[in-house]
Amino acid sequence: MAGEPRSRGLLRWISKRTEGGSRLENALRRYAGERVDLGLQEWIAYAAVRLAVSGALKALGIPRERVVEALGDPTVRRGVVNVLEGIAYYGVRRPQVTAAPFLVVWDFTRMCNLRCKHCYASAAPKPDPDELTTEEAKKAVDEFAKAGVVAIAFSGGEPLARRDFLEVAGYAADRGFYVAVATNGTLITREVARKMKEAGVRYVEVSLDGLERTHDEFRGVPGAWRRAVEGVRNCVEAGLDVGIAVTATRHSLGEIPKLLELAERELHAKRFVVFNFVPVGRGKGIVD
Ligand code: SF4
């Protein structure tokens, strides 16, 4: 129904962003029980949203409280707005085109404390001279918010190597983003894990490229495996949602079943992701 021309026209009007923000987002905030000051047009948008949501809930047999609770989460709301704006502007498609990218993977720095053979970023011990300052990084977060992006995954380089990582990640979380971090795990002490949780980081993905010997040989730094595993334990202890990521190469392939067992039984990771090897950056040198 949302894809019909008349409904799309209405949805496009409701989705319009004014000085007071997106009418649609304001209507959903109000629906979720937030106190939002609405002008006349926003009230009309809210009434239309309320009518449409009530009709859909009745048809699907979903209790209103569940939707109110879900829409109370700014990340969920941002996701709903992104999809509905996509329908408003591009129609119903398969796969659906959203108004803004759902996820931005942000190479936050090129600096890293490891020297992996397969590093796509060709990371180095020092940051690039033209990396964003803290204030510029926050402005970038504002731009992502304005565009309607839902989630930010901090990557790199090693994002935790930047001193302002927690500050910028916390800023993004406060702005309603789902915040994730892809890390080598070696810098995650108990305190860092606790601070990440407090800052609003929701998901931490730690790379392990095999069992201890293989990983350390591949990552170029002895002890990297032990510190990464400790980092995973610290994250789990702090209540963070943790995933283990493995890049499949001929070195790690045979060890993946044991890694999976370790991730599930000993480390209590919630996800286990196997990436294919992409020969870019330093990885170009180990294609064989
Ligand atoms: S840990 Fe990641 S960023 Fe650092 S060298 Fe290895 S692959 Fe590159």
For the chain, the structural domain boundaries read 5-90, 103-286
Residue 144 has a pLDDT of 96
Instruction: Note the pLDDT of residue 1.
Output: 58
Distance (angstroms) between ligand 1 centre and the Cα of 217 equals: 13
Place of tokens 């810098």: 187
> Which pLDDT score, from 0 to 100, does residue 121 have?
85
CATH value of 103-286 in 3.40.50.720, 3.30.1600.10, 3.30.160.270, 3.20.20.70: 3.20.20.70
Structure tokens at 159: 């994002």
Name beta bridge partners: 206. 183, 244
200-249 confidence digits (pLDDT tens)? 999 999 999 999 999 999 899 999 999 999 999 999 999 999 999 999 98
* Terminal Cα-to-Cα distance of the chain (whole angstroms): 53
Best substitution site from 119, 252, 282 to test ligand 1's pocket, by max atoms within 8 Å of Cβ?
119
So what's the pLDDT on residue 278? 78
Please give all residues whose beta carbon lies within 6 A of any atom in ligand 1, as ranges.
Answer: 112, 114-116, 119, 121, 123, 156-158, 184, 219
Contact 27, 14 (CB under 8 A): yes
Of 3-7, 129-133, 261-265, the poorest mean pLDDT is in 3-7
What CA–CA distance (Å, rounded) separates 88 from 4? 10
How many residues are listed for the chain in this entry?
288
